[in-house]
Amino acid sequence: MSSRPAAGGGRWVEVDPARIDRWVGGFTDRHGPPVTTVEAYGLLLTAPDGATAQLHTPPGAPATTELPSFVATAAAPRRIGLLLARKGAVAVGVAEGEQLPVHKVDARYVQGRTAAGGWSQQRFARRRDNQAKAALADAVDLAARLLLPAADGLDALVAGGDRRAVDTVLADRRLAPLAALRADRLLDVPEPRYAVLVGAVAAARAVHVLVRDPA
């Protein structure tokens, strides 16, 4: 479980789906039995002392109207496509529950920025742009080869890394079925590697909770 400050107050907590029932129990112990309200993002818990917890439905899980069903569906196995992209590297996979039976990581060299000026700087900039475009083209091909055949059986597609790179990859017309499954969640990940892709499975399944304590 991880926590970070939230814009506008409160804190975001990422809870493993298997632990969300225990987390809600702890919230109840600390603040009293909450009232549950259905919201567009999921469920809002409002405790007697004024504390609130926004339970956001995780990617691929169906919307629910009651807390027990939210807990059950959040913890249920789901088939989630993963697409992680940063300038010269891409990682794709298909997660089945907590497992990652389908995965592939690809990296292509993209030249770093140069401090040189004038014509040399322009030449290096063009070369760098061409390398980046080639890397993204490879990413499209990889997604088409591994993820597209699985699209009909996916509950959601969760992306991570650089938003512009991900948007560019999914803008390819061949990947329209995957773009239609894209969840709002964008995972904050470093340059994609196999270990990063494995870690992304838990991040994609986690329940995001916005907690605000009593005034």
Whether the per-residue pLDDT at 119 is higher than 60: the answer is no
Question: Are both 71 and 9 inside the same structural domain?
Answer: yes
Strand, coil or helix: 56: strand
DSSP-based helix, strand, coil % in the chain, nearest 5 = 40, 30, 30
- pLDDT tens per residue, range 25-64: 999 999 999 999 999 999 999 999 999 999 999 999 999 9
Q: Taking the model in full, what pTM does it have?
A: 0.86
Q: List pLDDT tens digits, range 150-168.
A: 999 999 999 999 999 999 9
pLDDT score of 107: 74
Q: At 114, is the pLDDT very low, low, confident or very high (cuts 50, 70, 90)?
A: very low
- Give the list of residues 6+ apart from residue 197 with CB closer than 8 angstroms, or none: 82, 84, 91, 92, 93, 100, 103, 105
Is 45 in the same domain as 92?
no
Per the structure, the complete domain to which residue 39 belongs is given by 2-77+206-212
Is residue 189 located within the same domain as residue 85?
yes
Q: List the single range of 71-80, 123-132, 140-149 with lowest mean pLDDT.
A: 123-132
Total domain count, the chain:
2
Q: The domain that contains 166 carries what CATH number?
A: 3.30.420.60
Percent of the chain with pLDDT over 70: 87
Averaged pLDDT score across all residues of the chain: 89
- C-beta separation of 55 from 209 below 8 A: yes
pLDDT, position 136 = 78
96 lies in the same domain as 152? yes
Are both 51 and 12 inside the same structural domain?
Answer: yes
Pairing of strands 11-15, 89-96: unpaired
- Burial of 53 per CB tally in 10 Å (0-12, 13-18, 19+): buried
User: Is the pLDDT at 169 greater than 50, yes or no?
Assistant: yes
d(CA 58, CA 43) in angstroms, rounded, equals 12
Closest Cα partner for 89 from 158, 138, 128, 127?
A: 138
